[in-house]
Structure 1
Amino acid sequence: MSKCPFCQVDQSRVVLQSASAIAMRDEFPLTEGHTLIIPRPHVKSLYDLSAEDQLAAWDLVSDVRKNCKQELGIHAFNIGINDGAEAGQTIEHAHIHVIPRRIGDVVDPRGGIRNIIPARARYWEVD
């Protein structure tokens, strides 16, 4: 079994941390500032964590979002979880994506995360 990349994090990549979770920039960012919030306990799903650890992870999401707004001038975000292989999770350690969004980074951002299934994303065009 290979080592979990989120259990062996290079501390130089950590941008924020708490007793329960760390925040680090994504190694393959979708946009500048793309950050992962990673709970310290090794669990596959965020929902395998205690309620206290879940809350601590979401508190760190809030801190990362605030920092991106202040440091990068960002005003919009996609924040989400890939929970399970069918949902696109590739690393079996729970984590939350904070993805800063900017004007013009895609032609039409409407639908946001709904675009994971493109044929169903444009609900505003349905008769």
Structure 2
Amino acid sequence: MPCPFCHPENIITSNALAYAIYDKYPVNSGHILIIPKRHVSDYFETTIEERTAFNELLEECKELLDYQFKPNGYNIGINCGEVAGQTIFHVHVHLIPRFKGDMDEPRGGVRGVIPEKQKY
């Protein structure tokens, strides 16, 4: 099966090394993926230049989401490896807007990847 991120559609914004699209299966309205143009499976295989490109787009996309959706917070995450939940092996950064009341108890944030460890 061809990589869905190697031939992107509906790009929101881009720079020389990365681009951003809306997630096809969003956690919340405005959920964005930031993806390197180079096919690379894992964040730890990216270059410093690609990481800088990710960060530039994270800032740009946050401004866009602040304007369009006015979220109360954000989660930023990367799944590295199948056991971490990665299903598309072309690295991508999730920028997920969070809204007051979108879940009953958000405390623990990204710790929720292992639900019994979220509450502490």
Fold-level match, TM-score > 0.5? yes
Query: Could you list the runs of 5+ residues in structure 2 that have no partner in the other structure?
Result: none
User: What is the alpha-carbon distance in structure 1 between the residues aligned to residue 79 and residue 45 of structure 2?
Assistant: 14
Q: Give percent identity, aligned residues only.
A: 39
- 2:41 maps to what in 1? 44
**TM superposition shift of 1:75:** 2.9
Q: TM-score, normalised by structure 2?
A: 0.96
Alpha-carbon contact 1:45-1:93 (below 8 Å) kept: yes
Q: TM-score, normalised by structure 1?
A: 0.91
User: What is the alpha-carbon distance in structure 1 between the residues aligned to residue 117 and residue 28 of structure 2?
Assistant: 24
Larger-Rg structure: 1
Alpha-carbon contact 1:47-1:54 (below 8 Å) kept: no
User: What is the alpha-carbon distance in structure 2 between the residues aligned to residue 3 and residue 118 of structure 1?
Assistant: 32
Query: Could you list the runs of 5+ residues in structure 1 that have no partner in the other structure?
Result: none
| Matching of residue 5 in structure 1 with residue 4 in structure 2 | yes
**TM superposition shift of 1:44:** 0.4
Alpha-carbon contact 2:72-2:100 (below 8 Å) kept: no
4+ residue runs over 2 A deviation: none
| Matching of residue 82 in structure 1 with residue 79 in structure 2 | yes
| Matching of residue 55 in structure 1 with residue 52 in structure 2 | yes
User: What is the alpha-carbon distance in structure 1 between the residues aligned to residue 55 and residue 97 of structure 2?
Assistant: 16
| Matching of residue 23 in structure 1 with residue 20 in structure 2 | yes
User: What is the alpha-carbon distance in structure 1 between the residues aligned to residue 114 and residue 69 of structure 2?
Assistant: 30
| Matching of residue 105 in structure 1 with residue 102 in structure 2 | yes
* Number of corresponding residues: 120
Alpha-carbon contact 1:37-1:57 (below 8 Å) kept: yes
**TM superposition shift of 1:106:** 0.4
User: What is the alpha-carbon distance in structure 2 between the residues aligned to residue 107 and residue 74 of structure 1?
Assistant: 16
User: What is the alpha-carbon distance in structure 1 between the residues aligned to residue 38 and residue 32 of structure 2?
Assistant: 18
- 2:91 maps to what in 1? 94
Matched letter for residue 7 of structure 1: C
Q: Secondary structure at the match of 2:12?
A: strand
Deviates further, 30-39 or 69-78 = 69-78
